Amino acid sequence: MARLRSRRHMTQQMLADRLGKSKSWVDKVERGVRTLDRFSVIAEVATVLCVDPTLLLGRDTPPPTGGGSVAAGIDAVRAALARYDTDPDHPAATPTGDLGARVGHAWLAYEHADYPGLLRALPGLLGDTQLAHAATGSGKTASLLVQVYRIAASVLVKLGQADLGWFAADRAMAVASSDPPLSASAVVPLGQALRALGCARLALAATVPATHRITAARPPDDNPGILLLRGALLVEAARAAAACGDADGVRELLDQATSIAAQVDGGDDPHRVGFCPATVTLARVTAAADLGDAHGAVTRHAEVIALGQWLRLPVEHRAAYLLDVARAHLMVGDLLAAGRTLIQADRTAPGEVRLRPAARTVIAELTRGGPLPADVASLATALGLPA
């Protein structure tokens, strides 16, 4: 625990505050005087440290499904991000057109929660896109490189590697610095990474100004691509405000996003931000849960299900949303509904549930409540968790 805390640049007092414990408690655990002998506490510590609970359980814990390939994939992406050997005189290894197709396939892999496949593709795609941009310096290769960094940042955050995701998002910001809309698209994963690291105020400070920098005219006069960008940034800003406990800020930001959503027609999305009316609707549910209004989140979710708009979103987005809803059910003490929602998420996008530390935390909380339904117990067993 001490090693992981140090990697997050957290003091013992910071960790204690986030856990609701005393500094003395943290110190005794790290010195081995006190033992982490309850899985619920282990899961809580893992959530604060943004790691998989199995890292705190020891070597005898069975790895999650696909865990080995994912760990190797993350290491390969880390190595690719650490390379600085781009040579401006080196010819692009892959034609730009082929790179565009490969980036498109990477987006599809992400939207379908095929994280192992995406991690296998990302190292080579990062290297080839870096070389292409170094060789041409064109706006097209800059856009492709920013997209690859964005994809890398988003998947790394999902897989519990928020610090590395922050690094990838920062790389995207650096490449896009001279292009305000392109830079704004990189702020979305930057905000996600900062929020995952527990730096919600920094995420808010990054996302809100970005919505203003890309507005050349009054919002109704912006082109559709800019509107979609503003909407996505407002949703991410609202999630950050919710993490800060700012209910008024959440309401204001999501109301602005709703106004923008009414102006978009679901057509072209040049920056691949995935903003639409349904994303705002789902954000109201997840923000309510983040603010501690679990009953409100559950009630809003029932309305979302009745509308059915959300079924048009990518399976990755839907499954991630269902994990948040399962968490809300846990907060109100409805373990059966939480279990049903978790299984629904698993059927929607298995990779989202079986490979994300956030999902494992939900399962760990379910195990605390008593015997699990057969399907939830089977899922827990598949992930190497006690059922």
Instruction: Tell me the per-residue pLDDT of 154-192, one tens digit each, with 9 for 90 and over.
Output: 999 999 999 999 999 999 999 998 899 999 999 999 999
Query: Closest by alpha carbon to 237, among 172, 190, 181?
Result: 190
Residue 196 lies in a domain: no
CA 285 to chain centre: 16
Residue 22 lies in a domain: no
Residue 60 lies in a domain: no
Residue 227 lies in a domain: no
Residue 239 lies in a domain: no
Residue 247 lies in a domain: no
Token representation of residue 327 = 């968490």
Name the domain boundary from 178, 213, 247.
178
Residue 204 lies in a domain: no
- Domain range for 140 is 66-178
Residue 27 lies in a domain: no
User: What confidence score (pLDDT) does residue 310 get?
Assistant: 85
- The pLDDT tens digits of the residues spanning 284-340 come to 999 999 999 999 999 999 988 887 778 889 999 999 999 999 999 999 999 999 999
Helix (DSSP H) and strand (DSSP E) numbers for the chain: 20, 0
Token representation of residue 197 = 């690291």
User: What confidence score (pLDDT) does residue 33 get?
Assistant: 78
Which stretches in the chain have pLDDT values below 70? 37, 39, 52-55, 57-68, 85-96, 216-222, 266-267, 387
By residue count, the chain amounts to 387
**pTM confidence score:** 0.81
Name the domain boundary from 120, 152, 178.
178
Q: What is the C-alpha separation between 136 and 132, in angstroms, rounded?
A: 6
Burial class (CB in 10 A: 0-12, 13-18, 19+), 35: exposed
The domain that holds 347 is classified in CATH as 1.25.40
User: What confidence score (pLDDT) does residue 87 get?
Assistant: 58
SS3 237: helix
**Domain tally for the chain?**
2
- Based on the fold, state whether residues 174 and 280 are members of the same structural domain: no
